[in-house]
Amino acid sequence: MLRKGDMFDVVSLLDNQEHHVYYETLDELKVLCIPIVNMQNWIDKNPGFTQNLLTYLTKQIRTLENYVIDVSLEDTSTRLAKLLLNHSNKKSNTIDGISDLSHDELAGMIGTTRAVVNRQLQHLREEGIIDITRKHITINNIDALIKITESNK
């Protein structure tokens, strides 16, 4: 999931190959589309940007690597717990950025199905670890959620 200031489809900058991207937005937004040649010329004229781009790409590669590892090696309860923790607001114990997503969209983020996410969320609620109201998740027991992420290591 991308946030304000993120870039996508930067692969074409690196290999000069056409790359078709399909996207879906959750909110209305403005997208800046820059032709590859124009962006490459701008980068040549602004070499300081290259370091920022490399830092950003490194972060994205690490995120992708962690996702592949999680989907390959972790069970769905662990992946869901990690997702909730990664989007948790430590001050308010609420979930930011993904609370308004459907169970189908949450499932897509952790590589599973809506039914599995629904069962896992209900289990966490029954255990008292989270509270769920319409489009709102609150963490009641962050230590228990952390324990779930550590139980498979």
The string of pLDDT tens digits covering residues 5-62 is 676 777 777 787 877 777 777 778 787 888 888 888 988 899 888 888 888 889 889 9
Provide the domain limits for residue 23: 11-70
Q: Are residues 87 and 107 in the same domain?
A: yes
Instruction: Tell the residue number behind the tokens 């769920």, with chain if given.
Output: 132
| 153 pLDDT more than 60 | no
Helix (H, G, I), strand (E, B) or coil at 131: strand
In a domain, 80, yes or no: yes
pTM of the model: 0.70
Same domain, 130 and 78: yes
Closest CA to 121 of 134, 64, 3, 67: 134
* Sheet containing 136-139: order of strands: 88-89, 94-95, 136-139, 130-133
Which of 56, 63, 62, 109 has its CA nearest to residue 84? 109
Assigned domain for 1 exists: no
User: What is the C-alpha separation between 34 and 41, in angstroms, rounded?
Assistant: 11
Count of other CB atoms within 10 angstroms of residue 65: 10
Q: Are residues 89 and 145 in the same domain?
A: yes
**C-beta separation of 107 from 153 below 8 A:** no
Same domain? For 89 and 108 the reply is yes
Both tokens of 15, joined, read 């290999």
Query: What does the pLDDT read at residue 21?
Result: 75
Summarize pLDDT for 101-122 with one digit per residue, the tens. Answer: 889 999 999 999 999 999 999 9
> In this structure, is residue 6 part of a structural domain?
no
Q: Do 53 and 102 have their domain in common?
A: no
55 plus 91 within the same structural domain: no
